[in-house]
Chains A and B, each alone.
Chain A
Amino acid sequence: MKAKALTGYALLFLMVALVSPWIGPGSISPGEVASYLQGDRQPAGDIFWHQRVPRVLLALLAGGALAVVGASFQVLFRNPLVEPFTLGISGGAALGAFLTISFPALWAVWGPFGSLQIFAVLGAAAALFLIQRLARSPRGMSVYTLLLAGVTISIICAGGILLLTYLAEPNSLVVFQRWMMGGLDILGYGQLLGILPLLLPGLGLLLYHARDLNHIALSEDLALAQGVDVQLVRRNVFVGGGLATAAVVSLVGPIGFVGLIVPHAVRRLSGVDLRMVLPAAFLLGGAALAVCDTVARTVLSPTELPVGIITALIGGPLFIHLLISQRWR
């Protein structure tokens, strides 16, 4: 049963991965794509291999990661409204990104790591560290304090952003605003490679603790009785999710909704066992974001719509449909 359900998600994921690179503002024929691989450097093939494919890969990875983090956080905080961005991580990243955009003096590129990504990751890491320290107490880490600290850091970062917004020149304002809407238009495979070192270990840590989270979801006392180190799991899930979120946000900006809605959808469709939910959320989240991005890069050609707008406009109604149809069952 479990394997069968996962196969369904995997098939959807695969189908989206194979189809969406072919859809975009200009049409590309399979012949052009194939001949590029044989060394014929025509623009159409180049667009396919260096623009579309990395972009779809990023969408699959980023959407998947956000959904996995969302699913873990919703259990960790026992709160169905938590998403990867609730906790100040994206606020810190946004502040870092805005600093970079406003001050050209900070611009630099080291291999795959551009200045915007570096400062976004630094901002997110600072927020992560601070929240974690704030939530620490002699009796261990309380999820309520963690949540409160996260929201507070979020608000402080928003204040910092408003201050920068006030002082910034209009040009960098527009750039920042676009960044905040989220976008997946990366350049080649280099930047994609650059987020993997944060993303994969972070997700790995979440998957490693999936079983412990299952116990915690039922009851923390029971989990303790089962020998689960609840404190350790809490911290690890928070840090692991934070790392993955920071990686995604640093490159694509805060893309909302995927991390909130996909976990709910998966739980409604396939139950609450996190060993099932986490992989399924990755597959569904990735597919969802890739579809949204395909729409984003196609509808307003020659410019692009920020993908965050699409995720909200498509994801919202879909989720409402899911809510209503489940209620009458």
Chain B
Amino acid sequence: MKQIQNLPLALTLALVLLGSAVVYFLYDGVQDETSAQRLSQGEAQPAIHRMICASPSITEIVFSLGAGSRVVGVSAFSFYPPEAQAVTQIGGQINPNRERILSLEPDLVIIQGRHQMLDRFCREQGIPILSVEIDRIEHITSAIQRIGEVLDAETAAEHLATGIRQQLADLARKTQSRPPRSVFLGLGHTPGDLTGLMTTGSGTFLHELIELAGGRNIFADAPGTYPRISKEALVRRRPDVIIEVLAEGISPDNQVLLKADWERLATLPAVQAGRIHFLTDDYLLIPGVRIAQTAKRLAAAIHPELFEERHD
């Protein structure tokens, strides 16, 4: 047998392996007696009285279903509806405060997408957790229905989802009468600096709303969901309309500054025709119950003539 030359190191590595095995088997012992509880489709559920909404979109949906009085905690930035602002905040969507969650004694936590930390935490604490996808339009309506089922509010959910689909369909019918305009949707920039512009790729609800509103997203082929794009590519693709969505409200003075940046790209059809729009409301970037409103705002920017006719 070959003699071991470096005994301390060999012993250390052996301890690492042994320790990992010991810890793996010890693990169940240190866990709480509480067992994993996860809501699964079609299971009979007890009525929910103390729920936590872990993202602004979820808060909107739950309140719109008339279940706001059963909410004991919401994530930061849950500004809509106004009643939600009175509810205890559990911190940000990505880094919620777990002490706060526990102290609220929730009987359900609803999260958006996958959230490894919260998921694990709730499972260890035995708090039921419901996860819904809200990235695209169809996800939003199916999330509404899924949350409706769990909260025993199927009728309200059906009503809400149908309403949103109906409004979007009406808008699509209206904008289809016009040839689509090519649209660049910017996610904001700072004055004097057009570097690092971000837009939306084809995987988001914003992209779908642009297309519904009679536009054609010029960066639908870009990789990633919210890619950064080069100005050169922007100039080559000659958008007819430039829309910047800014979650924070900006003053008219600043809008002038931002517009001046775009006017330096004088070859763009959007600049020549003066079709540069700034949309500034926090709900525009939230995939929630107000997407039909967002779609209407986009359509009014892309095809203003359609909406002027109605007022005449």
Contacts and interface: CB of A to CB of B under 8 A. Distances in A.
B20 A197 contact: yes
Contact of B103 (A47, A116, A232): A47
Interface in B2-34: 5-6, 8-9, 11-13, 15-20, 22-28, 30-32
Contact of A189 (B9, B30, B224): B30
Interface of A is mostly: helix
Q: Which 7 pairs from chain A and chain B are nearest by CB?
A: A197-B19, A201-B15, A111-B27, A303-B91, A197-B20, A169-B225, A112-B27
Given A204-B15, A236-B9, A302 B90 contact: yes
Given A196-B19, A197-B17, A197-B20, 14 more contacts: A26-B99, A47-B103, A107-B114, A109-B120, A112-B27, A187-B120, A193-B23, A196-B23, A197-B18, A201-B15, A204-B15, A236-B8, A239-B12, A303-B92
Nearest to A205: B12
Contact of A25 (B12, B26, B97, B228): B97
Interface stretch (A2-10, A170-178, A254-262, A263-271): A170-178
13 contacts: A50-B32, A51-B98, A51-B99, A116-B116, A167-B223, A171-B94, A174-B94, A178-B94, A197-B16, A198-B19, A239-B12, A240-B12, A303-B76
Contact of B105 (A43, A169, A189): A43
A239 B224 CA distance: 38
A51 B8 CA distance: 36
A236 B116 contact: no
Contacts of A170: 225-226
A225 to B, nearest CB: 21
A235 B20 CA distance: 23
A26 B91 CA distance: 14
Contacts of A276: none
A62 B5 CA distance: 31
A252 interface: no
Given A25-B100, A168-B224, A209 B30 contact: no
B307 interface: no
Nearest to B73: A302
Interface of A: 24-26, 43-44, 46-47, 50-52, 104, 107, 109-116, 166-171, 174-175, 178, 183, 185, 187-190, 193-194, 196-198, 200-202, 204-205, 208-209, 232, 235-236, 239-240, 243, 301-304
Nearest to A229: B6
A189 B27 CA distance: 9
Given A43-B105, A304-B95, A201 B30 contact: no
Contact of A167 (B13, B32, B224): B224
B116 A178 contact: no
Contacts, number: 138
Contacts of B23: 111-112, 193-194, 196-197
Interface of B: 5-6, 8-9, 11-13, 15-20, 22-28, 30-32, 76, 89-92, 94-95, 97-100, 102-103, 105, 113-114, 116-117, 120-121, 124-125, 223-226, 228
A210 to B, nearest CB: 12
B19 A232 contact: no
B26 A201 contact: no
Contacts of A301: 97
A114 B105 contact: no
B16 A198 contact: yes
A108 to B, nearest CB: 10
Nearest to A188: B124
Given A240-B12, A302-B90, A113 B99 contact: no
Nearest to A183: B95
A235 B6 CA distance: 10
A43 B102 contact: yes
Contact of A43 (B11, B26, B97, B103): B103
Contact of A197 (B15, B98, B125, B225): B15
B121 to A, nearest CB: 5
A270 to B, nearest CB: 26
A304 B90 CA distance: 11
Nearest to A194: B23
Given A112-B27, A193-B23, A236-B6, A185 B98 contact: yes
A188 B8 contact: no
A50 B99 CA distance: 10
A188 B15 CA distance: 24
